[in-house]
Structure 1
C-alpha cells in the first residue's frame, strides 16, 4: 500500500543535484545544497571509443526517465492519500523506503538522513528553517499540538479563563515568512507583532477568545539581536487581557541559514503572573538558537552584530 512520505528534505525530482522541502502534501519552493556532495548524474565520458556518444545518450535517457518516474509516483501518492481521506497521522509517521542495495532510486523520495541534532532530547530541530531550539527546564517538545508551527511549549494545560478550552502558560512558534515582500528583519518583526498578540491572547485557531480578547498593550522591548550568528530584530509587548493575568508576546525575525535564506519569524507567548515561565526564558531561548549541526554559532540578546536593514 502506498503512503505519502512525511515532511523532510529530499532529492528534488526536477533537479536532483539539490534537496527540496516536501511538506507532507506537496513540494515547496525551499531548496538547499546537500550536506554530502551528490555523485554526478551523468558520468564523464572516457577518452576515445566509438561508443561514447551512444553511452551518453543512454545515460541522459535513463536519468530523465528516473526523474519523471519520481515526480509521477509522488503525485500519485498525494492524490491517493487525498482520495482515501483520513490516515494522515499514520502516514506522517511512516518512514519513506530507503535506497535499494543496487543503487537505483526508489520511486518515493528518500530522506537525506537525520540532522545531527535530531536525536538530542535537549533541542528541538526545525529542519525547514535549518535551526534548533534549546529545551529549557519547564519547557518541552510539543506533542499532538493543533498548531503545526509550535516548537516548544510548557508541559501542562489549564482551563482557559474566557471561552471554554485548554490553555498553556507558554509556547514558541517558528515559521517561514513567505506571504510577504518584506526583506528587513526589523520591518517583519514590527509588522508581525500585532498578529502574534492576537493569535496568543486574542483569538485561537477555531475563533474562540480564551482570554476574552486584548484590552490594551504596551511596548516593553525592541531592538537588534544576533540569532545563530545572523542579524535579527525583536519586538516584545506586554498585553492586558479581558480576563486572566495577561501576558507577554514577542516577534523575533532573522534570515534562515538554509535554502533561499528567507526570513524566519519566531513567536513567543508566556502568561504573566506566578504561573507563567520567567520572562528571561525568552532571551535564553533566543540565545540558544543554533544552525542545524552547529553547536558554537554565536548569537543571543546583546551580541555584537552588524546592521539589520
Structure 2
C-alpha cells in the first residue's frame, strides 16, 4: 500500500541547517531553523498487555478470579487479531500502537519523506540563493565568497589588489550579491531598483562596513542604463550607474530587482559592482551574469522586457 507524505517540516535539500515545508505534493519556499519539533508530541498510549492484579476484597474471591481470567483472555484475543494480518497468519510489519515495537507518527512521516533532490548549492559553478529561489552562474575567474559581514549569497573575482584609497586593504575587481529587500512599501521592480541604486553605490565604492574608504569615497555619478528586463522568466528592472571615486578610476554599479518565482513572490534584489581599474572584467560579463540568472528548480514564467543574450558556453 503506497503512503502519501503528509505536509510538514523536513530537512532542507540545499541547506542542512534549515528545514523546508513540504505541502504534501512539493517543496515550498518556506524555511525555518532546523531542530524544532516536527509534529506535536503524541499523547501517551495505554499498553495492551495484561494488567497487574489488584488486591482482592474480602468475601469476593471466586467472582474476582473469574473476572480477571476473562479480562486476560479478551486481551490476548485482541492482541492476536492485531498481530495477524487477515487469515493468512503472517505477522504485520507494524506493531500495535503502545507496544514495544510501535513506530511513532513523527518518525514514520520522516521516514517516508521524499528523497531530497541533488543540491545545487554543491555546484561550484552556481551561486544559490535558497531563500529567494534563484541561481547565478559563477563564471571562470570568479568564486563564491567564503565569508562576508552581511552573510548574503555572494560571488567575487578571485584576483585581488591593494585598494586605491587604502593600501592596507584588499579589493576585488568585481562582486555580486543577492538579497531580500528590507523596504516592503516599494511594490514594483522599477521603484525598488531606482531606490536601491544609491545604497548599492555606497556599498561598493563608499565607506565599507568598518568605516574604511577603500576607493577614496564617491565624487560623482551618472546613470548609464535603466529599463525593464526579463530575469529568470519574470519582468524585472535594472538601473546602472557609472561612479567616479576620490582615488582610482571608479567603476560601475547596478541594482536589479524582480519578483521571485517561489513562496509569496516577494521582490529579489541583486547588486553588481565592477571597478574600472586594470584587471577588471569587461562589462559584458555583467550582462552574462544577469542573463544567466535562473529560478531554482526551473520554475519560470513569462515576463515582459528586454532579454539579455544568454551566456556563451
Q: Which runs of 5+ in 1 are unaligned?
A: 27-40, 42-62, 67-100, 305-309
Distance, in Å, in 2 between the alignment partners of 1:299 and 1:123 is 23
Equivalent residue for 2:20? 10
Counterpart-to-counterpart distance in 1, 2:182 and 2:118: 24
Q: Matches of 2:165 and 2:276 in 1, distance apart? A: 16
Q: Measure how far apart 1:247 and its partner are.
A: 0.6
1:198 equivalent to 2:202? Answer: yes
Residue-pair matches, total: 228
Alpha-carbon distance change, 19 to 214 in structure 1, aligned in 2, over 3 angstroms: closer
Partner residue of 2:41 out of 53, 65, 81? 65
**Closer/same/farther in 2, CA of residues 202 and 222 from structure 1, 3 Å limit:** same
Deviation digits for residues 215-269 of structure 1 (CA, Å, limit 9, x no counterpart): 0001111010000000000000010000012011000000011111110110000
SS in 2 for 1:183: coil
Larger Rg: 2
1:103 Cα deviation after fit: 6.3
Contact 2:236 2:305 in 1 (8 A): no
Tell whether the 8 Å contact from 1:10 to 1:112 is kept in structure 2 after alignment. Answer: no
Q: C-alpha offsets along residues 25-67 of structure 1, whole Å, 9 cap, x if unaligned? A: 99xxxxxxxxxxxxxx9xxxxxxxxxxxxxxxxxxxxx5436x
8 A Cα contact 2:28 2:262, kept in partner:
no
**Aligned twin of 1:218:** 222
Distance 1:65 1:231 in 2: 45
Residue in 2 that maps onto 1:88: none
With structure 1 as the length reference, what TM-score do the two structures score?
0.64
1:88-114 per-position Cα deviation (integer Å, ceiling 9, x unaligned): xxxxxxxxxxxxx966359x9x99835
Cα RMSD for the two superposed structures: 3.6
2:106 to 104, 107, 114: 104
Pick 1 or 2: higher relative contact order, CA cutoff 8 A, min separation 6.
1
Q: Partner of 1:152 in structure 2?
A: 155
Partner of 2:143: 140
Shift of 1:21: 2.1
How far, CA to CA, are the matches of 1:205 and 1:148 in structure 2? 12
Distance across 2 between alignment mates of 1:10 and 1:272: 41
SS in 2 for 1:208: coil
After superposition, the Cα gap between the structure-2 partners of 1:126 and 1:145, relative to the gap in structure 1 and judged at 3 Å, is: same
